[in-house]
Amino acid sequence: MHVIAYSVKSFEIEYLENANSMKHEIILEAKPLRIESAVLAKGADAVIIFTSDDASEPVINALADLGVKYILTRSSGTDHIDLKAAEKRGIKVANVPSYSPQAIAEQAVMLALALSRKLIDTSRLVQDYNFTIEKHVGFNFFGKTVGLIGLGSIGKATAAIFKGLGCRVISFDIDQEIEMDTIEMVSLDVLLQQSDIISLHAPLNESTRHLINQESMSQMKDGVMLINTSRGALIKSEDVLAKLEDGKIGYLGLDVYEFEKGLFFEDHSNSTSKDSLIKKLIDHKNVIITPHQGFLTREALQEIAQITMGNIDAWESEFG
């Protein structure tokens, strides 16, 4: 099968090449998928994309006109793909439903621990040869209540780590049938009201978009810690900034951002025009933002590549 992969970073190449094992003719392209770059897929049966790529209806129509039959995303989420447009044009879509959930879970807990002990600020002071400790008072996780919104494979992996730290773990999931002996399933209102730390692990859809907003945050404890390693638009960014400034949100850890497309994965250090909202968030000492790198472990990259190429193998076997 002829395949082109868009938005390929240098660290992905060896994993994709190893997973392919010369079975398919694959082009690894650093350019993102946009309407302008769709032409690069001419002659390809399948395209492989990432969350930062544009798979909106116009782009899908352009790919379909070029003869593309399959779209694979190197992610579990598919909110960057217009699935209705793909179905209308007869393009099959596959994702990576689960890959190394521990990678994302560890990123979430790492953000939480770093925030709780003011690690970033402490490190900066030490780099300036300032070894005072008066401003570094943190808190224990032992005995705290952690609320997980979403209890899929990543949520469960996150729960296991927090349980290991001695936390009480509660969870809300749209799937009311989920049961775990070590986790108390509660309503969203109860979770918001009782949690000291809230970590988001839900997919992005119409029911979860801006789930964290001014109204929902008003139910939270004063000084609550909020962590998001799932999808940026689960949080209404302007509202969370306001709640940071009035002290309702005491700590904020983000590996995703509502307006990250065109921002994350690129070097904007010399840009004269910067996203003013994320700059205001970054300026808060009780905020840590990482650029959507929760998946960035050797184990996760290997699984993503293997599952992605396995999907191509399966399609070729079934449809020729």
* List 74, 80, 201, 231, catalytic entry: 231
Hey, what's the torsion of the CAs at 112, 171, 230, 164, to 10 degrees?
A: 40
In the residue annotation, 260 being an active-site residue is answered as yes
**Joined tokens for residue 239:** 């509202």
Return the beta strands (E) in the chain as ranges: 2-5, 25-28, 46-49, 70-73, 92-94, 145-149, 168-172, 184-185, 197-200, 224-228, 249-254, 287-289
In the residue annotation, 298 being an active-site residue is answered as no
* List 80, 201, 292, 303, catalytic entry: 292
In the residue annotation, 231 being an active-site residue is answered as yes
Hey, what's the torsion of the CAs at 58, 64, 70, 76, to 10 degrees?
A: 0
Nearest C-alpha neighbor of 4 from the set 68, 75, 61, 65: 68
CA gyration radius for the chain?
A: 21
Hey, what's the torsion of the CAs at 216, 219, 225, 230, to 10 degrees?
A: -30
Q: Long-range contacts made by residues 149-152, C-beta under 8 angstroms, separation at least 24?
A: 149/173, 149/188, 149/191, 149/198, 149/199, 149/200, 149/201, 149/202, 149/211, 150/200, 150/201, 150/202, 150/203, 150/230, 151/175, 151/178, 151/180, 151/183, 151/185, 151/201, 152/98, 152/101, 152/201
**Residues taking part in catalysis:** 231, 260, 292
